[in-house]
Chains A and B, each alone.
Chain A
């Protein structure tokens, strides 16, 4: 029996101790008319070897692509040691460190993580993680609404230059609590928010302004200017940033005169594989004034009965298992294992290595830009860090399908979320690509653009892009 160690004798002895004749008798408090579950439609059982064969086939179906898609999930080199150590049974098969004395490994690691992440953001404190970047932004907004009580209405300014899936997630989560989300446009020439755009919202109550850096298009927002504007209007600033880029770019705590109040985002670029979109982890940092509004687990350093250093979950009075209906959030399980990997990743990279990853990604983008600028039918709209927006002279979906035939994932189509930009593609390049990869990509894209769109019919309909 898979994973069940009982011998027939065990079962007999155990039933005798309990004082029942059959295992089925143990379910005799369940009303008879309910005990009729038929689950025969569950797929038949496989053994490990058969399962291995099936999963290799399926993994091969999805593998072998050269990836130039970013859009919130980024391919970086992950040192071998990261997952070797993170998936040790002692990390992977432990649970939330409720029994602190038996969980010092996880707790100390989380304390080290909090230190690294807070420092990367140049803010005072970090929690021990949330689910992912999008839900972390939703929690950051809820946190801002709880913290900024001066406002009569809770109104959050959310630029359209924030990842469209993040905006959808935020709407699904925060509007349940009566918070208004006001989406503000970006300058379509520059691909970012400008002061002129913000001025139109000067007369409104602003609970918080969300500032992405780099934004969804890979463009760098003028973070100092935006931060100052929000603070002048008594709004809080919520930074949503790529943590990898913060080794190179000005971190949220340094924006404007007083810094962003809250920073959040997707932790995936720090040592977590693409893996079909998860598990990743969300991070959330803030100034210390707001620590009691911070949702999720937080680890603190303390001492034991002999005065020796130790670590515990702290400020638990914010949490659902203590405060129930009055908790700051309903979150319980978070993404501990991903944070474990990320902490090991940051330790291996160090400040210089992490910066080098950011620099090399950025310089690869510049190189790719220069190669694309030689193609006369490709227009580079904008993009600064490691992503850019290309406008193509033909259907993006068609080009994506053609490049996929060559095992190249050319980018993320913007046509659905930003139809005003035309046939546009969001392209990403990180430190993992070399010049030959870039040349191959540029050549294949160029070939795809030359081909006439005669085969537009069935093939393309079959490969509709992700939602």
Chain B
């Protein structure tokens, strides 16, 4: 069992070298505004802290240590060189409210990234400020709303979302004050066009689509969908979670999308950080560009400056205290520079090659693809529906057993419409050997299930903990450590 840092704490112990020197001056602040007790922070030595957190890190799976085929999350290699350069002193010590003249280095990178994102998306304007995909979605939908309102077109109160969409899509639409209407998926994995036609009307503000969709297939009728939505006066939002699948091949702007976000932590290889930070720049066509969130970097001759209200009088406003996750913007910029135009196309090509290869291998081994007649994009779904019934196992069991083989489990039970599914995204940075090994492990697990399904039910065995009781966690909430706490803590 791993101790908590609080259990290593001894009253009176300090990491002296890290602390400022005590001063002898008396405090002059009014007593009724001061804290009376000490907060429950650990009192440990530097070595204790370093050893504790180093050991904790070793209880994680990560890209640097394991194959991590987490569908829809794009867990590809995060270049170390990019990280090292983003940590240069000049960048780290740069205050966000510095004068423009003291920010030209950062602004040059941000500006050039804006321009490159325009090129790869086929859009006319880019704002880098959204701090994750979901905030980019929020920005894009808010822009759709601002656009309709600017034309006095206020009756539109509905956003259409396919049933296969990421959960963030409907949640973002609701945060923008819209009602959500779900559109079913047809048996071939494409949007059910007849259902779409029936749903579209004068209330339609727009539709949110991922293409390739979360089902790992390209939405072939995208042009027809765009025509239907546009004819009704609606707009198309592109969820850029899967942009890596089509980078340099097809551009969202050419497909008819009006506004979109890009997940820098997916397509542009910035580290996922155990759950962030991400980066969710939003890009828009000419009609919607005036509504982009601010600030945006503007170039006048050889001088960069931040946009003002005068540049974007119709902006939906500001989404962060400064300019979003600047350090992630820097990293994405550097990754883009390391790739260049050829490298970007290769991202889509090799991500797709790896996915289709792994799919072909698993198909041959008897696994069932969710959409057997379709070509995989950069990811694909297998359904364990039959195995679940015949062998009395679940996709969850297979996922947990995979962990024992030191492979991170694929995304499970998403999209919701495919029963007992695993969404597998190998990414372009993995070797053929890793894919072969993964296929062999899955085949072996299926064999184990036939011989002894309990082996799967009780997995994992080789990790720091066995399967965890999530029901207990939710019923008997234990969200903070309360032993050893001072008299003052809740």
Name the distance in Å between A34's Cβ and chain B's nearest Cβ. 5
Which among B79, B89, B91, B328 has the highest number of chain A CB atoms within 10 Å? Answer: B91
B250 and chain A: residue at smallest CB distance: A34
Least distance between B349 CB and chain A CB atoms (Å): 5
B191 interface contact, C-beta 8 A: no
Is the pair B431, A5 in contact by a Cβ cutoff of 8 Å?
A: yes
Is residue B42 within 8 Å, beta carbon to beta carbon, of the partner chain? yes
A306 contact set on B, CB distance < 8 A: 466
Residue A455, interface by CB 8 Å: no
Contact with B along A288-317 (1 / 0, CB 8 A): 100100000111111111101111101111
Asked whether, in the complex, the Cβ of A291 is within 8 Å of the Cβ of B477, the reply is yes
For the complex with contacts A48-B81, A69-B97, 13 further pairs of A-B residues with Cβ separation under 8 Å are A18-B357, A52-B81, A56-B88, A91-B62, A94-B62, A94-B63, A95-B272, A116-B41, A119-B40, A220-B29, A337-B274, A354-B41, A409-B98
Q: Are B470 and A314 in contact (CB under 8 A)?
A: yes
Expressed in whole angstroms, the minimum distance between the Cβ of A126 and any Cβ of chain B is: 7
Residues of chain A with a CB closer than 8 A to B199's CB: none
Give min CB distance, B164 to chain A, whole Å: 12
B472 at interface (Cβ–Cβ under 8 A)? yes
Distance, CA A346 to CA B41, complexed state (A): 7
Which residue of A94, A249, A291 contacts B274 across the interface (Cβ within 8 Å)?
A94
Nearest 3 A/B pairs, CB to CB:
A45-B340, A277-B322, A89-B64
Known A246-B35, A303-B469, A327-B171: A165·B321 in contact at CB below 8 Å: yes
Is B79 a contact partner of A3 (Cβ separation < 8 A)?
yes
CB-contact partner of A305 in B254, B357, B467, under 8 A: B467
Establish whether residues A91 and B97, one from each chain, have CB atoms under 8 Å apart when the complex forms.
Answer: no
Q: How many residues of B contact A (CB 8 A)?
A: 213
Task: Kindly list chain A residues whose C-beta atoms are within 8 Å of the C-beta of B399.
Answer: 99
Residue of A nearest to B476 (CB): A302
Asked if B317 and A105 make an inter-chain contact with CB atoms under 8 angstroms apart, the answer reads no
B124 CB to closest chain A CB (Å) equals 13
Total residues of chain A contacting the partner, CB 8 A = 212
Contact B20 A277 (CB under 8 A): no
* Docked pose: A334 CA to B68 CA in angstroms: 19
Could you tell me if A274 and B94 are in contact, using CB atoms closer than 8 angstroms?
Answer: yes
Which of B175-183, B281-289, B384-392, B447-455 makes up part of the contact surface? B175-183
Cβ–Cβ < 8 Å partners of B327 in chain A? 275-276, 278-279
Closest to B26 in A: A363
With A and B bound together, what is the CA distance between A321 and B72 in angstroms?
13
Find out whether the CB atom of B254 lies under 8 angstroms from the CB atom of A278. Answer: no
The answer to whether B197 has its CB under 8 Å from any CB of chain A is no
A429 sits at the interface (CB 8 A)? no
Q: Mark B457-490, 1 if CB is under 8 A from A, else 0.
A: 0101001111111101110111111000100111
Query: With a CB–CB cut-off of 8 A, which chain A residues contact B357?
Result: 14, 17-18
Give the shortest distance, in Å, between A407 (CB) and chain B (any CB): 9
Residue from B98, B109, B320, B478 within 8 A of A134 (CB atoms): B320
B441 within 8 A of A: no
Q: Which of A145-153, A169-177, A228-236, A438-446 lies at the interface with chain B?
A: A169-177
Q: Is A61 an interface residue (CB 8 A)?
A: yes
The smallest beta-carbon distance between B281 and chain A, in angstroms, is 13
- Complex Cα distance, B136 from A305, in Å, reads 40
B residues in contact with A308, CB < 8 Å: 1, 465-466
- Pick out which of these stretches binds chain B: A201-209, A387-395, A458-466: A458-466
Interface string of A34-78 (1 = CB under 8 A from B): 111101111111111001101111111111110101011101010
Given the contacts A81-B49, A340-B273, A462-B303, A101 and B466 also touching, CB distance less than 8 Å: yes
Q: B83–A87 contact, CB under 8 A?
A: yes
- A85-B6 CB under 8 A given contacts A59-B89, A62-B104, A275-B326: no
Interfacial chain A residues near B220, Cβ < 8 Å: 29-31
B59 / chain A contacts, CB cutoff of 8 Å = 103-105, 108
Among listed A183-191, A250-258, A374-382, interface-contacting one? A250-258
- B375 A28 Cβ-Cβ under 8 A: yes
A115 to chain B, nearest CB (A): 4
User: How distant is the Cα of A86 from the Cα of B30 in the complex, in angstroms?
Assistant: 37
CB contacts under 8 Å to A, within B321-369, are 321-328, 330, 334, 336-346, 348-350, 352-354, 356-357, 360-361
Given A42-B116, A95-B70, A300-B477: A401 and B274 interface contact (C-beta under 8 Å): no
Shortest B141–chain A CB gap in Å is 9
- Structural contact, A334 and B132, CB atoms closer than 8 A: yes
B428 within 8 Å of A (CB atoms):
yes
Within 8 Å CB of A60, what residues of B? 90, 105
Please give, as numbers and ranges, the residues of chain B lying within 8 Å of A248 by CB-CB distance: 29, 34-35
Instruction: Show 11 residue pairs from A and B whose CB-CB distance is below 8 angstroms, ordered by the A residue.
Output: A4-B428, A29-B374, A37-B249, A51-B334, A90-B65, A108-B56, A131-B135, A222-B33, A303-B468, A350-B42, A465-B99
Q: Measured between alpha carbons, how far is A127 from B399 in the docked complex, in Å?
A: 27
- Tell which of B28, B323, B479, B481 touches A278, judged by Cβ atoms closer than 8 Å: B323
- In the complex, whether A23 has a CB less than 8 A from a CB of chain B is yes
Contact yes or no, B57 A85, CB < 8 A: yes
A452 interfacial by beta-carbon distance below 8 Å: no
A325 beta carbon closer than 8 Å to chain B:
yes
B217 on interface, CB distance cutoff 8 Å: yes
Q: Which of A26, A40, A73, A223 has the most CB of B within 10 A?
A: A26
